[in-house]
Amino acid sequence: MIPTDLRLDGTVALVTGGTRGIGRAIAEAYAAAGASVAVLARKQAELDETRAALEAIGVPALTVAGSAGDPDAIDAVTRACVEELGGLDILVNNAATNPAFGPMIETEAWAVDKVLEVNVVGPLLLAQAAWRLWMQEHGGAIVNIVSTGGLRPAPFIGIYNVSKAALAHMTRQLALELAPGVRVNAIAPGLVKTDMSRVLYESGEDAIAARHPMKRLGVPDDIAGLALFLAADVSSWMTGEVISVEGGMSL
């Protein structure tokens, strides 16, 4: 059972990249809390399965196929939220990409462009659309999924980390601009077991987990709980925060 002050009944949430990993866990947590949920992601088969799973929880759901960095897809999904689900109260900017693995100094220009398009420009365009279509008049909450890599440097995923640092700062900037009606916060996960992060842990999960004070890697549900808290009224006096969830690794 979801406690009353964590319920999202009567709200509409949009989760980008919501068919797998952290995004899927957040979409299901919001649905379980009573929100209608829209998902923007690229693969139609995954979207179909996700919509069926969300509707099985007992809430209205819709999906739109497209990239979170594509202005046309952003326009389509935000308008669908308002026109089909009746609003856009919660935006979760979760979708991200990282086509380059290695030293940032060697990252090719096309990879830089792609990372910034999806990880930085897309979240801004989504926030602008949500504000214009709904939140400016009705209020709301935005939750950005950044990364502990955006808070301190790490090897091999430099341009990805730079993009997440930009999204963390965007969180604070939008929190300042959109208050008091819209709260904007961010979650900075550490190493969470998802398809996207597999390359970082699959060759030595036990050894990496042992370096964490909590002695395990994260799983998507570890992030979803905080995302629910930040979307619900219980966090109504919080904005502009970037909260790390990383099993104590920074200790």
Give residue-wise pLDDT tens across range 20-52.
999 999 999 999 999 999 999 999 999 999 999
Q: Residue 205's pLDDT is what?
A: 66
User: Structural domains in the chain?
Assistant: 4-244 (3.40.50.720)
Rounded distance between C-alpha atoms, residue 120 and residue 93, angstroms: 10
| Structure token digits, residue 218 | 């994260």
Query: CA dist 80 to 77, 86, 88, 98, 121, Å?
Result: 5, 9, 9, 28, 21
Instruction: List pLDDT tens digits, range 45-58.
Output: 999 999 999 999 99
Mean pLDDT of the chain: 93
The pLDDT of residue 207 is: 72
Three-state SS at 245: strand
Q: Tens digits of per-residue pLDDT, 70-125?
A: 999 999 999 999 999 999 999 999 999 999 989 999 999 999 999 999 999 999 99
Q: What is the pLDDT of residue 251?
A: 83
Query: Looking at residues 135-140, what average pLDDT do you find?
Result: 98
Beta strands in 32-153 (DSSP E): 36-41, 61-65, 90-93, 140-145
Backbone φ/ψ region at 18: left (φ over 0), alpha (ψ -120 to 50), beta: alpha
Of the chain, the percentage scoring pLDDT greater than 70 comes to: 94
Q: What is the pLDDT of residue 214?
A: 78
At residue 155, does pLDDT exceed 70?
A: yes
- For the segment 177-210, what is each residue's pLDDT rounded down to a tens digit? 999 999 999 999 988 877 766 566 556 667 767 6
Residues annotated as catalytic (active site), given as ranges = 160
Which pLDDT band holds residue 1 (cuts at 50, 70, 90)? Answer: low
